[in-house]
Structure 1
Amino acid sequence: MKKLTLTSAAIFDPQAPASVRRRGNRESRVPEIVDVSINVLIAAGYAGYTINRVANDAGIRLSTLQHYFSTREALLRATLEEIARRYFERFRGFVENRNRSPQARLEAIIDDAFAEFVRPGLPAGILESWGLALHESFARDVVVEVQKRFTALFAKLVGEINPALSMEERELRGALIVSSCQGLVIFLRWSEDDASQLRAFRKAVKVVWSGLGKADE
């Protein structure tokens, strides 16, 4: 057999631009970095968060991380947006489930929230996002925009429950549900109630949210 020589040109399509050849690596690397960043934010808190730790926990050089996120702010912005995206997609899945009535979808979100917000991990990321937003304007901008998106999502569901409501009223009630949901994040995080008390509280929340959806203007 003749000597076999492989070059990079033989492996990569020489006609493809360099940016295209690197695309797969970037598409996999960026989510990995953001995922590690979320874990660092949860573990260290916004005050102890550093991009050096993210790079270290991700097993990459700081210069490599900065190739994808040039600044701490850029990485934190992506981190906060990803935390919000995960919950938005989670709740949107309930809102857009046409196999259930609008009222049943609203109650399913409550059931999911009570199960989700008590577990360790990602829910703490919500609290850290809010804490960061108190101190840094870019984080506040992200949190405000996220709140608008969730308000619109719940307003849409309220409109399906009660089509007679005006758009302004739907948005108001959507905002009230969002504020209640935000309160649940905090309440369930520190609650020492037993299972029966939490079941009673969950039932009460369903009554309140249902009232917001069904009540006339």
Structure 2
Amino acid sequence: MARRRGGGPKKVTNFIVPDLKITPRTGGYARGQDGFEQILRSALTLLVDQGASALTLRRIATESGMNVGSLNYYFKSKDDLIRELLNAVISSYEEAFDEIIHEPGASAEARLENLVELILEDITTKKTTRFFPELWAMANHDGFVHDRMNELYERARVSLNELIAEINPSLSGEAREILALFISASMEGMTVFAGYEKPWAARMPVLQALAKKSFIELVKNLRSEDLKVE
């Protein structure tokens, strides 16, 4: 949950997106919830600390304190595990985004600013700086990961699209999609320059201010015809 300095309703500061939001298992699988969560957290730790090459079922099992046979009780394949890991990651972002875009009493512009600040602050964390580039690299050579990454980013852009529609309702649906993609890509690109331990990390507050100002002006003033979109 967002932590707000001084109790103000419109300023989000020191926000850290939870690493994972894991949906509780039901029925006969409920008893294995702890093991299920431990495996996903171990997979995340390996990916962040050691990279994609460490993401094998044997390494994940060892990190989880179990053997491969036990791990296979929870996940039949590495693809199943990656699907659940990505779903848990993006669900944590969706929950955080939803809290911001439905902030009571805040204007759409203020909520967009808060969303931008949240994303750029999150980019400065070790988890985010390392996790996503590893997935980008995997997606270049693994069709399954490629498709899951596309799904992940499509879900992440839903909140941006919703705020764009509020701020500039005259934009067509396709124009909103393109603009949401542009804003998302612009922020994601900061990972390699101002992420955790990157050369421009100390200047992230300045980059945040620039991003908020420029994105708000762009969303307010863009017209569908500017993009040659009907």
| Range class of TM-score, shorter chain | 0.7 to 0.9
Counterpart of 2:170, as a letter, is: A
Counterpart of 1:125, as a letter, is: F
- TM-aligned CA distance change 1:181 to 1:92, over 3 Å: farther
1:201 to 190, 193, 207: 207
- For residues 93 and 85 of structure 1, what CA distance do their matches in structure 2 show? 12
Counterpart of 1:55, as a letter, is: A
Please report how far the alpha carbon of residue 136 of structure 1 lies from its aligned counterpart in structure 2 after TM superposition: 0.5
Residues 58-97 of structure 1: pairs in structure 2 closer than 5 A: 58-97=64-103
Please report how far the alpha carbon of residue 70 of structure 1 lies from its aligned counterpart in structure 2 after TM superposition: 1.2
Q: Is the 8 A contact 1:84 1:146 kept in 2?
A: yes
Q: Which runs of 5+ in 2 are unaligned?
A: 1-25, 224-230
Counterpart of 1:152, as a letter, is: V
Alignment partner, residue 125 of structure 2: 119
Please report how far the alpha carbon of residue 137 of structure 1 lies from its aligned counterpart in structure 2 after TM superposition: 0.4
Q: Secondary structure at the match of 1:121?
A: helix
- TM-aligned CA distance change 1:191 to 1:40, over 3 Å: closer
Percent pairwise identity: 24
Please report how far the alpha carbon of residue 89 of structure 1 lies from its aligned counterpart in structure 2 after TM superposition: 2.4
Greater Cα shift, 122-131 or 170-179: 122-131
CA offsets 1:80-118 (integer angstroms, 9 cap, x no match):
232222223222321222331111111112222232211
If you compute each CA radius of gyration, which structure gives the higher value, 1 or 2? 1
Q: Which runs of 4+ in 1 moved over 6 A?
A: none
- For residues 209 and 147 of structure 2, what CA distance do their matches in structure 1 show? 34
- TM-aligned CA distance change 1:123 to 1:86, over 3 Å: farther
Q: Is the 8 A contact 1:38 1:83 kept in 2?
A: no
Q: Secondary structure at the match of 2:106?
A: coil
Pairwise CA RMSD: 2.0
Counterpart of 1:193, as a letter, is: W
Alignment partner, residue 161 of structure 2: 155
Alignment partner, residue 32 of structure 2: 26
CA offsets 1:120-176 (integer angstroms, 9 cap, x no match):
224421111111111100000001111222223211110011122222221121111
- TM-aligned CA distance change 1:43 to 1:200, over 3 Å: closer
- For residues 137 and 92 of structure 2, what CA distance do their matches in structure 1 show? 19
Counterpart of 2:91, as a letter, is: R
TM-score (norm 2): 0.77
